[in-house]
Structure 1
């Protein structure tokens, strides 16, 4: 074996993830709102980029139009010399399919998924923003501080402030009183006295340390806290198990009195703090709209959350014609290349999303027409094969994106479900369709509670070949209790 130095020439192939390819892959997985934040960062870094809101809708191309397969082809150079997109196969003389938000739809959907046009707002204006009408009033802590200032003062006010700070959004005190007394260096009895004053504040039950104390405070406020009610509240675990016979013996009441006491408890608020303050609920913004038209299905991106990025070529010309050294020239060239690449990558992202969504609607057309019972089993690989893309690309496109249609708003991942074999040997059905059937059977069971075995028989009669353990798993996933739990619940309601 020779140890002398030498030169060898070797040839090999390897996949290199360029920064541009990494960026294109990252853009696919982002939602429209995340894209908006990403673009804001890029505009701040690159002076040749400028963002402007637009109502322009990215529409699917005709079947014969060439469509780049994804980020891989974009990096390979297929985006160079991109041709103008073909118009959508819609007759704009008869269709009105351009909306930047759900409110812009302007009409109502009937059972056949056809749109009935109508005004979006009074006097031809835009529909009101419902999010702007959300209650942004005082928080629970602000509400309690305003009341506590009128009933406590001095050192007790300092203790009350600390206790209120430890009350969670549901209205419960989350720390032991002994810890509060030790931390503040005061007697435990004094902390208990201040807490008793907090218990008198609105809403009734606030500052309770557990559910039993919360209900007890509300029963005292309603003047219903007699010994029988006190024993019932002290044994809520038996009530949850539906052991009414033991509770009646313990409380010394008959069926009528027990039913009246349970009815009283149902009227109390187990989370009194939830009615105040907190952050308003954030509605999910759809990334895509799907509507039924005369010509078929119309699919478009949500332009309200999709900013348009432009390359400021006038500014580039001003900079390139001015005096500059070699490093400035290189920086300007890199900035222009980066801006052009981002514009092309965003355009490719939009077309890829439309292409994937179009195939999903095509595969699940029965769902959009007839509902969840007709949802078909679908995999990422099947969609990827149909549109000639990689499965990982479809997975990224369907992540964190929502589709709005006449039947509601759904995550794109919702349409990919496992298959359940049909009992008669026919086509397999979607797991979501089976869940819908289970929910429907239990909702209409009436006084005759259906066991899991009975559900299996009924589902087999409907054509679903499903095991008992699968029924139990789907039932639990739907948040529906077992037959024993439902029977106890019916007994409590009775």
Structure 2
């Protein structure tokens, strides 16, 4: 058999992603803080980019989605992605009001301010004051101290015993429980200040894991007390503060800024708009480009740089506009698919996957995945991450439409919330009741959803409810239990 060499021609198609295409894809996934940071960097690098004014347009485009199938359209959407209608809340402060925000903000005392004032008023020696300042610098907003005393002592070139003595003084500061290194130590500090840290209480604090498991028999054995004494001790523990620093303002409050705003439409259905606060406002300065081009017309290197800046500016403005349109289209399709949720609540949430939305708006599934990452929607029912509306399907025992896993979890939570101490539902009982409503679900799936909701087992719930019932029936127990 002879071997021979030959030349063959084949045609092959492949998609090569340019750097700009990759950046456009990345823009879809960025949350608005990251997007604004990216835009700021581009403005610094590109002389032809500038921020647009905040003038409201005469005609503000939006999308309406109702119960009939109305596919989201982008016709008439402005090239400036920033020009989307905003929704003003009733609590917005109008210009010229008498609200002194700066005065209100500066009057709020943080935990570190509170501790620093107490250190200044304490009778510390100079070295001790320095150690106290170092310890306070490591203090978390919750009031805990995540620091290794031995390492801190070495870094300050002092004996560990001196650091421990200063820490002991700081642990007597207000609020009670600060500068603790563990939850047990935090509770111990508060109990000592109340003069209630006796041997039985010390044993209870040392066995917090048993308390978390609601293992009351084990706790009675460890503490050497009967059930009535244990109930009294539990009341005292519940009255303590496990995170004493949380009562102070820790800085600017973190809040979610929604990317999409949804409100009922006067003609029925829903009005869907992009939040202008999350959209960068960019313009390209064509006049400046023309002026600079005339000056550098003889220099090919400078002209090449200017052309590149112009192309990048055009690309960024188009990409931001396309990003805004895509978010709006995805949000509109989500609302169309989940209209029953917006009308009636979480119990009516339908199963939904990325492919369904992608096929409906004619984009790739990965595009929907990127758009829904770290994006939030403000609705009359609250603020939800866009990914919240995508849930797996639970089959129907009657052969009808499937149920959303999130809706099933909601039903499980509702069942447990109305249990009586003598009628606590097991996982089998919950599965049976769900099947009676048409939801085909296995016991192990119920257990998985229950654990995801941080709901204890039926045995622990029964034990906890009985203890709570005894606490409420005791002469001095009702108030503490209801507030815990």
- TM-score bracket relative to the smaller structure: 0.7 to 0.9
Question: Could you give the per-residue CA deviations for residues 23-78 of structure 1, whole angstroms, max 9, x where no partner exists?
Answer: 3222222233333222222222222221125445552499999979xxxxxxxxxx
Describe how 1:38-437 pairs up with structure 2 within 5 A.
38-54=38-54, 55-56=56-57, 57-60=60-63, 84-85=76-77, 99-100=85-86, 104-106=88-90, 137-149=108-120, 150-181=122-153, 184-248=156-220, 251=223, 253-295=225-267, 296-322=269-295, 324-325=297-298, 326-437=300-411
Check the 8 A contact 1:58/1:351 in 2, yes or no: no
Check the 8 A contact 2:64/2:265 in 1, yes or no: no
1:137–1:290 CA distance, 2 compared to 1 (3 A) = same
| Counterparts of 2:200 and 2:266, CA distance in 1 | 66
| Counterparts of 2:45 and 2:118, CA distance in 1 | 50
Three-state SS of the structure 1 residue aligned to 2:302 is: helix
Q: Which runs of 5+ in 2 are unaligned?
A: 79-83, 472-484
Q: Which runs of 5+ in 1 are unaligned?
A: 69-82, 87-97, 107-119
- 2:445 equivalent to 1:470: yes
Report how far residue 483 of structure 1 moved: 1.5
Report how far residue 293 of structure 1 moved: 0.9
Check the 8 A contact 1:364/1:375 in 2, yes or no: yes
Check the 8 A contact 1:242/1:491 in 2, yes or no: no
Check the 8 A contact 1:417/1:431 in 2, yes or no: yes
Worse overlay, 346-355 or 459-468: 346-355
1:9–1:238 CA distance, 2 compared to 1 (3 A) = closer
Report how far residue 459 of structure 1 moved: 1.0
| Aligned-CA RMSD value | 3.5
| Counterparts of 1:338 and 1:197, CA distance in 2 | 60
- The equivalent residue for 1:27 is 27
- The equivalent residue for 2:458 is 483
| Counterparts of 2:319 and 2:193, CA distance in 1 | 63
1:478–1:130 CA distance, 2 compared to 1 (3 A) = farther
Report how far residue 433 of structure 1 moved: 0.6
| Counterparts of 1:127 and 1:31, CA distance in 2 | 34
| Counterparts of 1:474 and 1:130, CA distance in 2 | 44
How many residue pairs get aligned? The number is 453
1:416–1:17 CA distance, 2 compared to 1 (3 A) = same
Provide TM-score, normalisation by structure 1. 0.81
| Counterparts of 1:405 and 1:311, CA distance in 2 | 34
Check the 8 A contact 1:453/1:468 in 2, yes or no: yes
Report how far residue 471 of structure 1 moved: 0.7
- The equivalent residue for 2:429 is 454
| Counterparts of 1:174 and 1:338, CA distance in 2 | 47
Check the 8 A contact 2:72/2:329 in 1, yes or no: no
